[in-house]
Structure 1
């Protein structure tokens, strides 16, 4: 494999070996602390436009299988590891990581000091980066990296283009796709929900015409403020249908209710982030992947109440509307990868729908 280099916008250069595609990768470099789950990480649409570095040293040792994908087409721009396995061993393995990245034209680099890279990101924050060949002087490329214009249309890139249905006989859920992971669909289908998946820019009127029992706001990439049409849609559906938001959906719900969001220094990405439910006084381990968070102080002037916090940095992890049936969490209760401590939230969502239906029937009867 050819020598390649990872160039950061602060001028730091890492020299390593290339694998996967031979294309040049450009994007925001971030790190994930999960020891396993690299297949789900690579296929998570929330990483759209990013170069992902894994902090666990050995990656690819159990290969790639058909069952653990979170989307059909990966959207990450590059993959960085300390050591990559080209001879995976697992009963579910179907191909190695190098072959998979080549098939999807995703560049990778290995053999660099990922610990040093992670410490740089933790100290200075996420930054723009490039993976490219070493035959071009890094001095000539640093300015290119610094002048990279980061995309603002990641949700448009990852969302479905047209509505589609996953039929069943249970509660009718409209899932607004901002870059949804398959794990959310799996949890809803487990509970016999009839799911209609709609694009990120579907209007409130079009959603309500589907007569949903509940609305799911999914995860997705990028800055929530880059999706103003979704914020306006949420404002119009609040109070009419129960709402559950996850990750980007959580941030969009907060913005629609008058709260604010901010970009974190280096984000939360991993499968073991502790979150405390301050209502239940319980702590859960959660799977997370986000660059932005809801500003805690901004909740004071809204009808939202804080329900959960991150124990590592006390950022907002859960909110609930005090007037309407709506709540959201910053992390991924469907995990994939990660602990399943919080998948009970899908049951709470369906219970909220049932309670709302009973309330509406009683009001109609009265």
Structure 2
């Protein structure tokens, strides 16, 4: 094993031990506070173009399993850990081509990102191969995440049936959809067909419901995707999750903003304004819908007041910023998907 480093665009250097793939990985450095779910995190398409710092002190200690994959392959470009918890995890990361460093001072790195915000960075597996000064010049030449559209590179190229059996037919628009979303929809009683990020709204409207998935990058440049969402409103029940929530916000006249360091982890408190209940939720996003006091904003983050949910009854549309499929995470929000699918069946007790 060789000595490598993680370099931030502000010049901060965090040295550690290379434990997976050789090479360099450029992207946005972010941190996640989840205590479990490291394999789901790395394979979540919402982590595209990002270097993920795990705040948990040991990562990889319960092994790897194909059933935990949220997509076919890794989307995170690099991983930073305090301590590697298992060789199986390191071998899997190497097979995926992920640069991974352990013995990183992840506490110091997390505090830096929390105070200064997520920033461009590079993970280098062998410090002898790329000098820090040279690496910094390359990092500063990389485009920032703000203004970057990424969904086209993670979406499916063609429609396919993900879950064939169910009482209702749901079109899942793939902006970077996690597999667990289709699984939870299926368990709730839906047959699921997955569509590309840009699809014919007339075809989508033939389904009983349309779910707008999670995904990476800035929602603001997704003009065509936003127009498709707008054209669906009032024609078919729509539910947005994460990026899908942000696109619904844009389609209804709200604004999105880049968060300083994002919401990533499985312990984010969200207030349901209608019931007064606080949900502990799983989240992974760097952009959000700006705070709003409008009546359609049904959920808010108790961290920063950003909008965590919408309900537009007259448009037959609703959304949540958090992940109700909870892959991984707490199950407080499972009923969001269950109630939505039940409502598509005409169940008078749904909602």
Please report how far the alpha carbon of residue 256 of structure 1 lies from its aligned counterpart in structure 2 after TM superposition.
0.7
Q: Which residue of 1 aligns with 2:264?
A: 269
Instruction: Give secondary structure in 2 for the equivalent of 1:233.
Output: helix
The alignment's C-alpha RMSD in Å is: 1.6
Partner of 1:146: 140
TM-score, scaled relative to structure 2: 0.94
Higher-Rg structure is 1
* Offset at residue 353 of structure 1 (A): 2.2
1:257 to 236, 240, 252: 252
Contact 2:57 2:82 (8 Å CA) reproduced = yes
Deviations 1:258-306 (A, max 9, x none): 1110000000000011111110111111000000110124x75xxx611
Q: Deviations over 1:87-138 (max 9, x none)?
A: 5xxxxxxxx1111111111101111110000011011100000011211321
Counterpart mapping for 1:277-316 below 5 A = 277-297=272-292, 300=294, 305-316=296-307
Answer whether contact 1:242 1:352 (CA < 8 A) is retained. Answer: no
User: How far apart are 1:313 and its partner, in Å?
Assistant: 1.7
Q: Normalised by the size of structure 1, how large is the TM-score?
A: 0.90
Looking at structure 2, the residues matched to 337 and 215 of structure 1 have their Cα atoms a distance apart, in angstroms, of: 23
Report if aligned partners of 1:28, 1:128 keep a CA contact under 8 Å in 2. yes
1:192 pairs with one of 175, 189, 192 = 189
Q: Secondary structure at the match of 1:296?
A: coil
Q: Is the 2:269–2:280 Cα contact (8 Å) retained in structure 1? A: yes
What CA deviation, in whole Å up to 9, does each residue of 1:153-210 have, x standing for no partner? 42111111110113114101111010000110111111231211100011212323xx
Matched, 1:171 2:168: yes
1:134 aligns with 2:130: no
Query: Which stretches of structure 1, 4 residues or longer, exceed 6 Å deviation after superposition?
Result: none
Any conservation in 2 of the 1:320–1:328 contact (CA below 8 Å)? Answer: yes
Secondary structure at 1:51 match in 2:
strand
Report the 3-state secondary structure (helix = DSSP H, G, I; strand = E; otherwise coil) of the residue aligned with 1:59.
coil
Shift of 1:143: 1.7
> In 2, are the aligned partners of 1:216 and 1:244 still within 8 Å (CA)?
yes
Match among 74, 95, 104 for residue 96 of structure 2? 104
> Aligned in 2, Cα 1:356/1:200: closer, same or farther, shift over 3 Å?
farther
Residues 1:123 and 2:84 aligned together: no
Task: Note if contact 2:185-2:338 (Cα within 8 Å) is conserved in structure 1.
Answer: no
In the alignment, the residues of structure 2 paired with residue 140 and residue 186 of structure 1 have an alpha-carbon distance, to the nearest angstrom, of 45
Match of 2:231 in 1: 236
The answer to whether the 8 A contact 1:325-1:356 is kept is no
CA distance in structure 1 between the partners assigned to 2:62 and 2:28 by the alignment: 27
Task: Quote how far apart the aligned CAs of 1:322 are.
Answer: 4.1
Structure 1, unpaired ranges of 5+: 88-95, 358-366
Residue in structure 2 matched with residue 12 of structure 1 by the alignment? 12
